[in-house]
Structure 1
Amino acid sequence: MPYLRRKRLLARALAATTALAAALGLGAQTPAGAAEPPRPPETAAAQGASADRPHGFASLAGGTTGGAGGKVVTVRTQADLAKYAAADEPYIIRVAAAIDVAPFGSDIEVASDKTIVGVGTSGEIVHGELHLNPGTHNVIIRNLTIRDSYVEGDWDGKTTDFDAIQMDSVHHIWIDHNRFTHMGDGLLDVRKNSEYITVSYNRFDTHNKAFGIGWTDDVRTQITIDHNWFRGTKQRNPSADNCAYAHLYNNYLSAQVDDGDPVWSYGNYARGRTKMVIENSYYDGVQHPYQADDTAELVQRGSILKGTTGRHDTRGTAFDPHAFYSYRLDPAAAVPALVKKFSGPQRTLGTDTVLHVPADYPTVQAAVDAVPAGNDGPVTLALAPGTYREQVRIPATKPYLTLLGTGDDRADTVIVYDTPNEYGGSSGSATVLIAAHDVTSRHLTFVNAFDEAAHDLDSEQALAMKTTGDRIVFEDTAFKGNQDTLMTDSPKLDTVSRVYLRDSYIEGDVDFIYGRATTVIENSVIKALSRGSDTNNGYLTAASTWKDNPYGFLITGSRVVSDAPAGTFHLGRPWHPGGEPDAIAQVLIRDTELPAAIKASPWTDMGGFSWRDARFSEYRNDGPGAAVTADRPQMSTEDAARHEVADYLNGTDNWAPYRR
Structure 2
Amino acid sequence: MSPSRRTVLAAATAGVLASAGGLAVGQATPAFAAESSPVGFASLNGGTTGGSSGTVVTVTTASALKSALSSGTSQTVRVSGLITISGMYGVASNKTVIGVGSGSGITGGGLNLSGVRNVILRNLVFKNAADDSINVQSGSTNIWIDHNDLSNGYDGLIDIKRGSDFVTVSWNHLHNHDKSMLLGHSDDNSAQDLGHLRVTYVHNWFDGTNQRHPRVRFANPVHVLNNYYSNVGSYGVASTENAGVFVERNYFENVAHPTVTQTGDSDAGNLKVLNNYKVNSGAEEVRNGASVAAIPYSYTPEANTSVKATVTAGAGTGKI
- The residue type paired with residue 149 of structure 2 is R
User: CA contact under 8 A between 2:209 and 2:232: conserved in structure 1?
Assistant: yes
Corresponding residue for residue 37 of structure 2: 53
Compute the displacement of 1:27 (Å). Answer: 10
Output the TM-score relative to the length of structure 2: 0.86
Instruction: Tell me the equivalent position of 2:49.
Output: 65
Matched, 1:118 2:99: yes
- 2:209 pairs, out of 233, 239, 244, with 233
Stretches of structure 1 lacking an aligned partner (at least 5 in a row): 1-20, 150-160, 258-264, 350-660
Superposed CA offset, 1:184-205 (max 9, x none): 1111111111100000000111
> Is it true that 1:137 corresponds to 2:117 in the alignment?
yes
Q: Distance in 1 between matches of 2:249 and 2:148?
A: 22
CA distance in 2, matches of 1:112, 1:28: 20
Equivalent residue of 1:243, what SS?
A: coil
The alpha carbon displacement at 1:279 in A equals 1.0
Corresponding position of 1:193: 163
The corresponding residue for 1:319 is 293
| Structure 2 counterpart of 1:285 | 254
Query: 1:311 and 1:299, CA in 2 relative to 1: closer, same or farther beyond 3 A?
Result: closer
Q: What amino acid maps onto 2:273 in structure 1?
A: Q
> 1:296-322, CA deviations, whole angstroms, 9 ceiling, x for partnerless residues?
22111011111123652243221222x
Is the CA contact (8 Å cut-off) linking 2:269 and 2:287 kept in structure 1?
Answer: no
In the alignment, residue 310 of structure 2 is paired with which amino acid?
A: L
- Between the aligned partners of 2:304 and 2:287, the Cα distance in structure 1 is 18
Q: 1:399-434 CA distances to partner (integer Å, 9 max, x unpaired)?
A: xxxxxxxxxxxxxxxxxxxxxxxxxxxxxxxxxxxx
Specify the code of the residue in structure 1 equivalent to 2:33.
Answer: A
Moved more, 59-68 or 24-33: 24-33
Residue of 197, 205, 222 corresponding to 1:246: 222
Alignment match, 1:204: 174
Residue number in structure 2 paired with 1:297: 270
Equivalence for 1:334: 306
1: distance between equivalents of 2:41 and 2:107?
29
Q: 1:576-606: per-residue Cα shift (whole Å, max 9, x none)?
A: xxxxxxxxxxxxxxxxxxxxxxxxxxxxxxx
Answering whether residue 126 of structure 2 is matched by residue 146 of structure 1, we say yes
- CA offsets 1:434-478 (integer angstroms, 9 cap, x no match): xxxxxxxxxxxxxxxxxxxxxxxxxxxxxxxxxxxxxxxxxxxxx
Question: Could you tell me how far apart the structure 2 residues matched to 1:25 and 1:334 are?
Answer: 28
Change in CA separation of 1:94 and 1:249 when aligned onto 2, cut-off 3 Å = same
Deviation at 1:49, TM superposition (A): 1.9
In structure 2, relative to structure 1, the CA distance for the partners of 1:300 and 1:311 (3 Å cut) is: closer
* Residue 150 (structure 2) aligned to one of 166, 173, 180: 180
Residue 32 of structure 1 and its aligned partner are, at CA, apart by 5.0
Q: 1:91 to 1:44 in 2, by over 3 A?
A: farther
Distance 1:61 1:74, change over 3 A: same
Q: Secondary structure at the match of 2:176?
A: strand
Secondary structure, counterpart of 1:334 in structure 2 = helix
2:226 aligned partner, one-letter code: N
Q: Quick one: which amino acid aligns to residue 93 of structure 1? A: V
Q: Distance in 1 between matches of 2:79 and 2:135?
A: 19
Q: Does residue 109 of structure 1 match 2:76?
A: no
Cα offset, 1:69, TM superposition: 5.8
Q: Does structure 2 retain, via aligned residues, the 8 Å contact 1:297–1:315?
A: yes
Which SS does the other structure have where 1:132 is aligned?
strand
SS in 1 for 2:208: strand
Aligned partners of 2:14 and 2:38 also within 8 Å: no
Paired position in structure 2 for 1:306: 279
Alpha-carbon distance in structure 1 between the residues aligned to 2:259 and 2:84? 37
2:137 to 168, 173, 186: 168
The whole-number CA distance in structure 2 between the counterparts of 1:295 and 1:97 is: 43
Q: How is 1:385-424 mapped onto 2 (pairs within 5 angstroms)? A: none
- Deviation for aligned residue 1:221: 1.2
Cα distance, 1:44 vs structure 2: 6.2
Per the alignment, residue 442 of structure 1 pairs with none
Q: Counterpart amino acid of 1:319? A: A
CA deviation after TM superposition for structure 1 residue 31, in Å: 4.1
Contact 1:284 1:305 (8 Å CA) reproduced: yes
Instruction: Check 1:330–1:290 CA distance in 2 against 1; reply closer, same or farther (3 A cut).
Output: same
Q: 1:26 to 1:163 in 2, by over 3 A?
A: closer
The residue identity in structure 2 corresponding to 1:328 is T
Given that 1:70 and 1:90 are in contact with CA atoms closer than 8 Å, whether structure 2 keeps it comes out as no
- State the Cα RMSD in Å: 2.5
For 1:208, give the aligned amino acid.
D
Equivalent position of 1:419 in the other structure: none
Which SS does the other structure have where 1:235 is aligned?
coil
- On the 8 A contact 2:221/2:294 being kept in 1, the answer is no
Q: Name the SS of the counterpart of 1:209 in structure 2.
A: coil
Q: Deviations over 1:102-150 (max 9, x none)?
A: x4xx1111111110001121312111111112x111110001010023x
User: Which residue identity does 2:301 align to in structure 1?
Assistant: L
Aligned partners of 1:94 and 1:69: how far apart in 2?
Answer: 11
CA distance in 2, matches of 1:68, 1:46: 27
Question: What is the Cα deviation at residue 26 of structure 1?
Answer: 7.5
Amino acid at match of 2:315: S
Q: How far apart are residue 25 of structure 1 and its match?
A: 5.7
Letter in 1 for 2:302: D
Closer/same/farther in 2, CA of residues 209 and 28 from structure 1, 3 Å limit: closer
Aligned position for 2:5: none
**How far 1:336 moved relative to its partner?**
0.8
Contact 1:95 1:123 in 2 (8 A): yes
**Contact 2:27-2:303 within 8 A present in 1 as well:** no
| Corresponding letter in the other structure for 1:344 | G
27 and 194 in structure 1: CA distance in 2 versus 1, 3 angstrom threshold: closer
SS at structure 2 position matched to 1:127: strand
Residue in structure 1 matched with residue 231 of structure 2 by the alignment: 255
What code does the residue aligned with 1:132 have?
A: L
Tell me how far apart the structure 2 counterparts of residues 25 and 280 of structure 1 sit (CA, whole Å).
28
Q: Do the aligned partners of residues 32 and 136 (structure 1) sit closer, same or farther apart at CA in structure 2, a change above 3 Å counting? A: closer
Letter in 2 for 1:334: S
Find the residue that maps to 2:299 and give its secondary structure. coil
Deviation at 1:82, TM superposition (A): 0.6
Distance between the aligned counterparts of 1:270 and 1:45, measured in 2? Answer: 31
Task: For residue 163 of structure 1, report the CA deviation from its aligned partner.
Answer: 1.1
Q: Distance in 1 between matches of 2:145 and 2:29?
A: 16
Identity of aligned residues (%): 34
Rg (Cα) greater in structure? 1
Aligned position for 1:562:
none
